[in-house]
Amino acid sequence: MEKLMIQIPDKKSKLVKSLLKELGVVIEPDLFKLSKELNRMVGNGGKPSMDEIVKETRAVRAKS
């Protein structure tokens, strides 16, 4: 399977994502945003548990 990174104009994002999903394309969530959130949690002294990481990952994937 080939991985591509594309930039989509904000106004066309939903349309493009829906078309790609119909074609069977798997859309990765914004992993950079997730990593920043996890780093912030660790930086505040609290280390997230594996359950918290999985929960956050699923929440981010559900948004896309």
Q: Map out the domains of the chain as residue ranges.
A: 28-64
Report d(CA 42, CA 34) in Å as an integer.
13
Instruction: Return the exposure string of 21-44: e unless at least 16 CB atoms fall within 10 Å of the residue's CB, then b.
Output: eeeeeeeeeeeeebeeebeeeeee
Among 27-31, 36-40, 55-59, which range has the highest average pLDDT?
55-59
Give the helix ranges, DSSP H, for the chain. Answer: 13-22, 31-43, 50-63
Instruction: Give 57: exposed, middle or buried? Use CB within 10 Å, 0-12, 13-18, 19+.
Output: middle
Q: How confident is the model at residue 7 (pLDDT cuts 50, 70, 90)?
A: confident
pLDDT at 19 over 90: yes
Is the pTM higher than 0.75? The answer reads no
pLDDT at 5 over 70: yes
